[in-house]
Structures are given as C-alpha cells and as structure tokens.
Amino acid sequence: MERQLLFNHIPKTGGTTLRIIFNRVYGPDRVFFIHSKNIGKSLDEFKNLDKIQRSTFRVVSGHGAGLFAGMLIKPFRISILREPLSLFLSQYHYLKKSPDSNFLKEVSELKSEENYLEYAVTHGQDNLLTRYFSNSVQWLADPDIPIPNLEKEGASMLEQAISNLRQYDALIDLSRFDKGVYALSKKLNWSKIPIYRPSNLTKKDNDVIPLSKDYMDQLRYVLRWDIALYEYFINEKLDISLSEPRKRFDYPFFVFRQKAVVLLSKMLGKS
C-alpha cells in the first residue's frame, strides 16, 4: 500500500502551488484540504472518519498538517522552507491585504512592518518555520491553547524542530521550487508533472522593501530561531533537489516549459 502524503504547509512558502499540483496529480477528491480559517473543524472532520474513509485520501494538505500525523500510518512527510526574513515580510503583506487572512482587520490597521513585528510575536506569526516544524501549533486548532512564547521556549522548540526536520521524506527550498517539484515527482513516481504557475503571490514578494537597519537588526534577532533552523537545513543539504540527479532526458524540457509558463503568466498579468 502506498504511503499517504502529509504536506505541512507553512504560510508563504509556495504551498498553494504545490497543493494545486497534488490536486492535478491525484484528483481533488483524494486530497484532504485543511481549511486555514477553521483548522479545528478540519481536524474534527478527519478524526470522525473511520480508517477506511481516511485511507481514501492520497494527500492531507494544509496549515497545521502535523496535527494530523497521528491519524495516518507512517505518512510520507513533505514541506517547503523559505528564507526567514523574506517569509516574515511576505506574510505581513499577505495578512494585511488578503481577504483570506485570519488577521485582516487587525493587520490592515497597522501602518508599517515595524508596527507588525510586535503584533506578530504576540499572535504567533514570528518564527513560523520553528513553530511548524516543532509541531507547536496546537493553538491553531484550539484557541484555548496558549501560543508558545519563543523568548521562553525558543531553544527547546528549535531543538525539536531540527529533530523533526530530519524525519521528513521530502523538503523543498522555495528558492529552488521547480527543481524541488521535479525531484519530488521522481521520488513519488509521477507519470508526468502537471503544468502549473506560481499561485497566491503577494505583490511585495518580488519587490525590494526599503527598511531601516535598526529594524532589520531587530527582525533578525526576533527571527533568530528560524534563521538557525533554515541555516541548518541549508548546511545539511536537506533540500530534495540536491539529492536528485538532473541529467535525466526530461529535465531540460521541464525547465524550458516552466520558464515559458512563468513568462506567459507575466505577459497575461497573472503573476
């Protein structure tokens, strides 16, 4: 029996695009989507399924997917990492502008990234890599559970995150997303990689954001746990694309195709 895929989608890491790919490979009916606006409800829905019903899903995908791991039999774990400062700033602009944001009202009233930093720490939007990989996100499903304070628990959460990181079957670096998707397709024996384009991009994602040196220094200090975790990921060469030889005959075609898709999307104003 094939192992079910468990995709732990960390916000603003390209996860929406990967979920679309899963839908096209396996069919949307075989992908259990965790709704970010009500993770607790999604968790209860999955708990209420019997083993046979759970087994019909080829993929469990979404924010807080780690909370579902205990209900699957040795799942194939997948996630995407992103450079922490870029992730944090992208998340700010997403929460501020997107109607799908759980924090739209509060964050839209903040005037700048500087104002957002304190808000993010208080509301668990800092160090998202460490929070998700240490599986310290129970509060996403149950608001009565307190949000872990990294000033007090950061060292132990980082240690747990590093340990958990080693248990993943496929990790992708967002900066090498296409290469990661190609490597994942080979590992999972897909017959083909469906055509896709980057989804859920925040306009500021590709912009240079002028921020003060003092703010950036403060941001690096607050995000020190994520920075350490990401550096570990890079130094240990855990990105799946680094272990997949790219000399296969179909790789150049795939690269050319994706460049063409991105170019066409830009021409049509869709990315």
Query: What tens digit of pLDDT does each residue of 118-143 get?
Result: 889 999 999 999 999 999 999 999 99
Class of domain 5-267 as given by CATH: alpha beta
Separation of CA 90 from chain center: 12
Question: Which is more confidently placed, 156 or 93?
Answer: 156
Residue 5 gets which letter from DSSP?
E
Q: What is the pTM of this model?
A: 0.91
Backbone angles phi, psi at 174, to 5 degrees: -55, -35
> For the chain, which residues make up each domain, given as ranges?
5-267
pLDDT of residue 101: 62
Sheet of 170-173, strand order: 31-33, 59-62, 5-8, 76-81, 170-173
- Helix H or strand E encompassing 231: helix 224-235
Query: Do 248 and 181 meet the contact criterion of CB atoms below 8 Å apart?
Result: no
- Quick one: tokens of 107? 């964050």
